[in-house]
Amino acid sequence: MQPWVTGPAEILEHGLSLLESDSDKNRRLAMIAIDNSVELAIKTYLGLPKRITGLSLTRKEYAEISESFPRLLDALEEYCEDKLEGLNLGEIEWYHRIRNQLYHQGNGLTVEREKVTIYSELAKLLFKNLFNIEIEFPTTDEHERMGKFLSEWVQLERAISKLASQYRSDLTVTGGKLPPPVIAFRGLAGMRVIPDITAREIDYFRAIRNKLVHGEIEGNEIKTDYPAKIQSLVKIIMDLAKR
């Protein structure tokens, strides 16, 4: 593990450890710790030397970005679009607001374990994308299902992005950039680059992914064969990209 990742990783691991003993207090503290780890991870990455990240941020720009969580997310979107596969910054900001309610409104509030668990999985994805490391921690079967499902979804988004790059001139771009994978997928499906039956399957799992992250379904509703089915979709998309 790179030395600059140690601090954010330790905070995330502490948040995850609090879930071992389930209580209202531990869930609140876990949510706050996980959110702190996300914020520190973003600040750490944006503040690394240009030789490491390739980013060119002045001290003034970095200081302004670091003033608020939304500005940090804006900077990720502007400078690190390639690090956001499998992540929706709007969802991360939504969980951050839940954390703020818990932090500022006292001990009278609680948070469902499911929300804490999902946020921890999004945090682990962010760490993997930014620093190329896996945060390992003993998990329940439910937690493991969510992790595998979201991890495979990242691979699917990467495959879609690779396929989209071959149709750059046909897809709407902003500032010379390809659209996010979800929008690129719509364009590719509309052009029939992705067959209808495959597009319907991707839509099906995208809906499940969104319901999971938004707390509309629980982790135990993720079937054990879902990751393998998404892997099959990844293979189909990669085969299309090779043509």
Q: What is the pLDDT of residue 232?
A: 96
Backbone angles phi, psi at 174, to 5 degrees: -120, 120
* Residue 52 and residue 19 share a domain: yes
Q: What is the pLDDT of residue 139?
A: 65
* Residue 67 and residue 110 share a domain: yes
Q: What is the pTM of this model?
A: 0.78
Looking at the domain assignment, is residue 136 inside a domain?
no
CB 89 within 8 A of CB 54: no
What residues contact residue 19 under an 8 Å CB cut-off, 6+ apart?
A: 26, 27, 30, 113, 116, 117, 120
Residues 28-79: tens digit of each pLDDT: 889 999 999 999 999 999 999 999 999 988 899 999 999 999 999 999 998 9
* Residue 189 and residue 127 share a domain: no
Q: Is the pLDDT of residue 107 over 60?
A: no
Count up the domains in the chain and report the number.
2
Looking at the domain assignment, is residue 38 inside a domain?
yes
Looking at the domain assignment, is residue 72 inside a domain?
yes
Q: What is the pLDDT of residue 106?
A: 58
Q: Is the pLDDT of residue 101 over 90?
A: no
Residues of the domain holding 25? 3-131
Residue 18's pLDDT band, with cuts at 50, 70 and 90, is confident
Q: What is the pLDDT of residue 230?
A: 96
* Residue 168 and residue 98 share a domain: no
* Residue 107 and residue 71 share a domain: yes
What residues contact residue 71 under an 8 Å CB cut-off, 6+ apart?
A: 64, 65
